[in-house]
Amino acid sequence: MTVTQVPRMGPMEGVAQRYARALYDYASEQGDIPSVLTQVQGLHEAILQSHELRTFLADSRLDKQRSLKIIEALMKQLGFGDSLRRLVGVVARNHRLSILPDILYAFIQMDAQVRGEVVAEVCSVQPLNDAQRDQLKSRLAEAGYRHVSITERTDPSLIGGLVVRVGSVLFDTSIAGRLARLENAMKGAA
């Protein structure tokens, strides 16, 4: 297993944190954190699983009003509550839909931190089964991450293995990652 320190902080992460904090504070005031957390996790998962949705969110060429109408209709159709719909509306009006996945992930991390957990973002070729999740949690516990909450996504380009990110630490056991490291090593030897 290869471990690499990869800073997750990008130019928009501070902005994503602020949006997530606003939603978290609002949900806390409403006494609705469990419900909002479930909805945030559902939307985050939907974005991770849908290439079309990720493409839509990242497309800065879309007119602000059109993208706002589309995202509002989508949020209503998927049955998300008022708190999350309001947040996504504000994000769309501010023309920041491209960072919506980061906002949702920051919210999940905030909640995990409040509960004393660490969020592990797991990417695999196929969805993990319960035995694999339990084994992963025990391996992460051996690495010093005792209370772990797992978010999952799939990526067939990995060919096999896992990529696990816990904060700024990246565990890459994927075949694609191994091939990339081998290619880089061969370039250095040439």
- The 10s digit of each residue's pLDDT in 24-58 is 999 999 999 999 999 999 999 899 888 899 999 99
pLDDT in tens, 114-154: 888 888 999 999 999 999 999 999 999 998 888 888 888 88
Domain 9-115: give its CATH architecture.
Answer: Orthogonal Bundle (1.10)
The domains of the chain are located at 9-115, 116-190
CA distance 44 to 145: 23
pLDDT in tens, 83-125: 999 999 999 999 999 999 999 999 998 998 888 888 899 999 9
pLDDT in tens, 55-67: 999 998 888 888 8
The SS3 call for residue 158 is helix
103-121 core/surface letters (b: 16 or more CB in 10 A; e: else): bbbbbbbbbbeeeebbbbb
